[in-house]
């Protein structure tokens, strides 16, 4: 049974139920699970772990690549099974537990988690739980729709549980490129000089004797929940398209631009979608996640190659891609997130990065994570890896949130994820602020003029002008800098 899925015959004895596999977990363990933005997560073992945690004290530190699908975080947190969580999440129930202090959340740059693990700066992984398409003749693991941190989790863990997902086509083998950097202090350069290059193996090589359990599943990834482009996101896409055309016209970019990275969410998806009708050609993507828009760009021929760590798609696009995975394999590669997000590679390739801000301030600092400075939304994800090292770092946001009660451009951000030094361009539906080569006082005027919703433009200009009277390289009225946020908390509207 499962000869094609578990090709190392002796491992077939390890097949067991998720409930039996879950008996391996002990209270206080650190568990590394596969899964990156809803793709390639384990479908059965986490549920069995939650069942156990409902009956006995069993709390783990849970590490993943990024967010999980299938409500796994919600189910685990409701079962009281998570003590600590890293490095990213998007689940509303878990978010609540993080924000009331019940779950300790480590919000990390996605490229860094496994570096910290292998250097002993984080507690070692006791058990890795990895979704796989197959196990090879040598006991190596072929991942599914994401690689994330799976390779290093499996390599570093004391024991490995593999979930073989029968819905993943065997033809997925060859989609992945697993490269693990040489360990410090003898680190060598990562030999990746173009997005399409393969530098590793198509599977995760581990000592097969570490595989303690194999669980068979047949559940699909959760579909992505991005919304279709709307008037605002289409306008943002339009401004960026116009800007990029101008950069080509003046010779700062070629018609194939630079490799593109685009963040998660509805706005990023819409911005990439907007490139379908652009004049750019032979585009390449070097991103951490590919959403529907990336597949549309590949299908249209506008993008000739896409590299990422996961594919997170709507149901129809997911079914289409899995059914035609052989066609996509020559134009698509999935890498460990340490490599997709590696500062060395990002800087070398010279990426144009497009990420979403929760709020920006008039000087170009960006808050991607903390609502009103205190409450975690999702996490920084890969945005810091990309923005800091980009050739051109773009942040997009709608100019207002909550029907206009909130301005996304504020006097001072209440939490800084990306400093002014990592931000070249800000785009809202009203326009684009090109901040390159500008000092803070110049940046403020451009941002207020181009990006701010009309109802907030006057108050923001007043703030800036009053602050300038006091002086400073980056003028502020410290006693008023957060007045908009406190007013929102007290009255439900910022101004
Ligand atoms: N204050 C409070 N809430 C705000 C806000 C602000 N300034 N700006 C937006 N929001 C709210 C929206 O109202 C919306 O709330 P809802 O879910 O209750 O409707 C929510 O934040 C999401 O905003 P939306 O405009 O739909 O954008 P999005 O889906 O594109 O998500 C981020 C935006 C910033 C939350 C998301 O991109 C993110 O988590 N980024 C950090 C990680 C990252 O950038 N990774 C990049 C590499 S993948």
Rounded Cα distance, 112 and 182, in Å:
15
Which residue is closest in CA terms to ligand 1's atom 22? 358
Q: 407 CB under 6 A from ligand 1?
A: no
Residue 411: predicted pLDDT: 98
Which residue's structure tokens are 């990422």? Answer: 308
Which residue is closest in CA terms to ligand 1's atom 5? 358
Rounded Cα distance, 204 and 218, in Å:
21
Which residue is closest in CA terms to ligand 1's atom 6? 358
The closest-lying atom of ligand 1 relative to the alpha carbon of residue 407 is 7
Respond yes or no on whether the N-terminal peptide bond of residue 185 is cis (omega within 30° of 0). yes
Buried b (16+ CB within 10 A) or exposed e, 209-242: eebbbbbbbebbbbbbebeebeebbebbbebbbe
> Which residues 6+ apart lie within 8 Å of 248 measured at CB?
254, 255, 257, 280
173 in active site: no
Rounded Cα distance, 312 and 317, in Å:
9
Which residue is closest in CA terms to ligand 1's atom 21? 358
> C-alpha angle with apex 112: 108 to 118, nearest 5 degrees?
125
Ligand 1: centre distance to CA 357 (Å): 7
The model's pLDDT over 202-240, given as tens digits with 9 standing for 90+, comes to 999 999 999 999 999 999 999 998 888 899 999 999 999
Say if CB 302 and CB 280 are below 8 A apart. yes
Residue 345: predicted pLDDT: 98
**Global pTM value:** 0.97
From its phi and psi, is residue 244 left (phi > 0), alpha (psi between -120 and 50) or beta? alpha
pLDDT bin (cut points 50, 70, 90) of residue 1 is confident
User: For residue 67, which of 43, 86, 48, 47 has the smallest C-alpha distance?
Assistant: 86
pLDDT at 263 over 90: no
Residue 266: predicted pLDDT: 85
Q: 406 CB under 6 A from ligand 1?
A: yes
Ligand 1: centre distance to CA 35 (Å): 21
Residue 346: predicted pLDDT: 98
Q: 266 CB under 6 A from ligand 1?
A: yes
Rounded Cα distance, 98 and 88, in Å:
12
Ligand 1: centre distance to CA 368 (Å): 7
User: For residue 63, which of 134, 142, 122 has the smallest C-alpha distance?
Assistant: 122
Residue 269: predicted pLDDT: 86
Ligand 1: centre distance to CA 284 (Å): 26
% of the chain surpassing 90 pLDDT: 96
For residue 188, what are the CA distances in angstroms to 202, 283, 308?
A: 21, 29, 22
The closest-lying atom of ligand 1 relative to the alpha carbon of residue 383 is 46
For residue 114, what are the CA distances in angstroms to 145, 261, 369?
A: 19, 21, 22
- HSE, CB side, 13 Å, CA atoms: give it for residue 298: 23
Which residue is closest in CA terms to ligand 1's atom 39? 378
Residue 294: predicted pLDDT: 94
pLDDT at 338 over 90: yes
Rounded Cα distance, 34 and 50, in Å:
17
Pocket perturbation via mutation, ligand 1, pick of 227, 260, 265 by most ligand atoms within 8 A of CB: 265
Ligand 1: centre distance to CA 395 (Å): 12
Which residue is closest in CA terms to ligand 1's atom 12? 401
Catalytic residue among 112, 288, 338, 429: 288
Q: What is the 3-state secondary structure (H, E, C) of the chain?
A: CCCCCECCHHHHHHECCHHHHHCCCCCCCEEEECCECCECCCCCHHHHHHHHHHHCCCCEEEECCCCCCCCHHHHHHHCCCEEEEECCCCCHHHHHHHHCCCCEECCCCCCCHHHHHHCCCCCCCCEEEEEECEECCCCCEECCCECECHHHHHHHCCEEEEEEECCCCHHHCCCECECCCCCCCCCCCCCCCCCCCCCCECCECCCHHHEEEEEEECCCCCCCCCCCCCHHHHHHHHHHHHHHHHHHHCCCCCCCCCCEEECCCHHHHHHHHHHHHCCCCCEEEECCEECHHHHHHHHHCCEEEEEECEECCCHHHHHHHHHCHHHHCCCEEECEHHHHCCHHHHHHHCCEEEEECCEEECCCCEECCEECCCEECCCCCCHHHHHHHCCEEEEECCCEEHHHCEECEECCCCCCCECHHHCCEEEECCEEEECCCCCHHHHHHHHHHHHCCHHHHHHHHHHHHHHHHHCCCCCCCCCCCCHHHHHHHHHCCCC
The model's pLDDT over 306-331, given as tens digits with 9 standing for 90+, comes to 999 999 999 999 999 999 999 999 99
Ligand 1: centre distance to CA 421 (Å): 22
Q: 224 CB under 6 A from ligand 1?
A: no
Say if CB 16 and CB 213 are below 8 A apart. yes
Pocket perturbation via mutation, ligand 1, pick of 89, 309, 366, 401 by most ligand atoms within 8 A of CB: 401
Q: 87 CB under 6 A from ligand 1?
A: no
The model's pLDDT over 239-260, given as tens digits with 9 standing for 90+, comes to 999 999 999 999 999 999 999 9
User: For residue 359, which of 410, 313, 315 has the smallest C-alpha distance?
Assistant: 410
Ligand 1: centre distance to CA 358 (Å): 5
Q: 263 CB under 6 A from ligand 1?
A: yes
The model's pLDDT over 365-391, given as tens digits with 9 standing for 90+, comes to 999 999 999 999 999 999 999 999 999
Pocket perturbation via mutation, ligand 1, pick of 377, 395, 412, 495 by most ligand atoms within 8 A of CB: 377
Rounded Cα distance, 130 and 125, in Å:
13
Q: Tell me how far the alpha carbon of residue 495 is from its chain's centroid.
A: 33
Pocket perturbation via mutation, ligand 1, pick of 233, 358, 390, 394 by most ligand atoms within 8 A of CB: 358
Phi, psi of 46, rounded to the nearest 5 degrees: -60, -35
If you average pLDDT over every residue of the chain, what do you get?
Answer: 97
Say if CB 321 and CB 300 are below 8 A apart. no
pLDDT bin (cut points 50, 70, 90) of residue 299 is very high
Which residue is closest in CA terms to ligand 1's atom 44? 383
The closest-lying atom of ligand 1 relative to the alpha carbon of residue 266 is 30
Burial of 365 per CB tally in 10 Å (0-12, 13-18, 19+) = buried
Ligand 1: centre distance to CA 397 (Å): 8
> Which residues 6+ apart lie within 8 Å of 345 measured at CB?
190, 192, 286, 339
Q: 384 CB under 6 A from ligand 1?
A: no
The model's pLDDT over 160-192, given as tens digits with 9 standing for 90+, comes to 999 999 999 999 999 999 999 999 999 999 999
Ligand 1: centre distance to CA 371 (Å): 9
Ligand 1: centre distance to CA 170 (Å): 36
């Amino acid at each position: 049974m499962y000869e094609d899925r578990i090709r190392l015959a002796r491992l077939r004895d390890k097949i067991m139920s998720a409930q039996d596999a879950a008996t391996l977990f002990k209270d206080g363990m650190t568990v590394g699970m596969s899964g990156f933005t809803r793709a390639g997560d384990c479908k059965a073992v986490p549920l069995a772990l939650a069942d156990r945690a409902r009956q006995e004290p069993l709390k783990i530190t849970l590490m993943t690549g990024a967010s999980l699908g299938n409500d796994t975080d919600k189910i685990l947190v409701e079962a009281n099974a998570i003590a600590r969580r890293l490095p990213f999440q998007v689940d509303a129930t878990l978010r609540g537990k993080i924000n009331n202090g019940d779950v300790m959340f480590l919000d990390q740059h996605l490229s860094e988690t496994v570096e910290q693990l292998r250097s002993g700066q984080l507690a070692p992984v006791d058990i890795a739980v990895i979704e796989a398409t197959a196990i090879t003749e040598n006991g190596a693991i072929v991942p599914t729709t994401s690689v994330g941190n799976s390779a290093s989790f499996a390599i570093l863990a004391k024991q490995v549980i593999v979930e073989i997902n029968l819905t993943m086509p065997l033809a997925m083998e060859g989609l992945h490129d697993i490269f693990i950097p040489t360990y410090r202090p003898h680190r060598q350069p990562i030999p990746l000089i173009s997005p399409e290059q393969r530098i590793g193996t198509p599977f995760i090589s581990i000592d097969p004797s570490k595989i303690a359990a194999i669980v068979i599943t047949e559940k699909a990834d959760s579909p992505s929940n991005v919304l279709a482009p709307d008037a605002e996101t289409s306008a943002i896409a339009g401004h960026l398209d116009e800007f990029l055309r101008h950069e080509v016209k003046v010779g700062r970019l070629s018609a194939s631009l630079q490799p593109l990275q685009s963040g998660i969410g509805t706005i990023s998806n819409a911005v990439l979608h907007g490139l379908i009708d652009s004049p750019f050609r032979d585009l390449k993507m070097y991103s951490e996640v590919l959403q529907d828009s990336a597949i549309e760009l590949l299908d249209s021929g506008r993008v000739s190659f896409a590299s990422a760590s996961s594919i997170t798609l709507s149901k129809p696009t997911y079914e289409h891609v899995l059914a035609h995975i052989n066609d996509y394999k020559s134009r698509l590669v999935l890498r460990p997130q340490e490599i997709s997000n590696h500062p060395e590679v990002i800087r070398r390739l010279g990426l144009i990065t497009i990420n979403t801000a929760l709020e920006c301030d008039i000087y170009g600092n960006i808050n991607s994570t903390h609502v009103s400075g205190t409450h975690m939304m999702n996490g920084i994800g890969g945005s810091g890896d990309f923005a800091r090292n980009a050739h051109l770092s773009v942040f997009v946001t709608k100019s207002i949130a909550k029907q206009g009660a909130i301005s996304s451009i504020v006097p001072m951000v209440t939490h800084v994820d990306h400093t002014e030094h990592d931000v070249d361009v800000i785009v809202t539906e009203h326009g684009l602020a090109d901040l390159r080569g500008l000092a803070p006082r110049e940046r403020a005027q451009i941002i207020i003029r181009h990006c701010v919703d009309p109802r907030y433009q006057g108050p923001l200009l007043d703030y800036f002008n009053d602050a300038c009277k006091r002086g400073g390289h980056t003028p502020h009225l410290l006693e008023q800098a957060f007045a908009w946020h406190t007013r929102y908390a007290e009255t439900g509207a910022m101004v």
